[in-house]
């Protein structure tokens, strides 16, 4: 079990530092996205919109919305690989 899966576990100062580092890395990674990529990520992963809904909001075809999400996810994955490894360390 990972540390963050235990609802009873107390947050240590080290945990707080790691969480802040993760937050900073995610913020930095998001800055490399274009406005459209950022919008697509927001709509899909935070607003829980479907591809069709994203396409409508963006004024684009569904294929374009999918391609935009793919591009954004790829950029984020490239920037955040080390963060994912850090999260999964015990």
- The CATH number linked to 45 is 1.10.10.10
Mean pLDDT (the chain, rounded): 85
Contact present, 37 and 71 (Cβ < 8 Å): yes
54 vs 80: CA distance, rounded Å: 24
> Residue 1: pLDDT above 50?
no
Q: pTM for this one? A: 0.69
Continuous segment of H or E residues that includes residue 8: none
Domain that holds residue 80: 12-87
Query: What local confidence, expressed as pLDDT, does residue 28 receive?
Result: 86
Residue with tokens 């899909």: 44
Contact present, 54 and 44 (Cβ < 8 Å): yes
Residue at 56 is within a domain: yes
Residue at 2 is within a domain: no
Residue at 1 is within a domain: no
Residue at 7 is within a domain: no
Q: Domain count of the chain?
A: 1
Residue at 47 is within a domain: yes
Residue at 3 is within a domain: no
């Amino acid at each position: 079990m990972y540390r963050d899966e235990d609802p009873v576990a107390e947050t240590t100062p080290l945990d707080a530092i790691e969480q802040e580092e993760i937050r900073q890395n995610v913020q930095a990674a998001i800055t490399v996205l274009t406005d459209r990529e950022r919008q697509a990520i927001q709509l899909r992963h935070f607003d829980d919109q479907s591809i069709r809904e994203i396409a409508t909001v963006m004024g684009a075809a569904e294929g374009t919305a999918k391609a935009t999400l793919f591009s954004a996810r790829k950029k984020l994955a490239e920037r955040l690989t080390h963060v994912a490894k850090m999260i999964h360390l015990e």
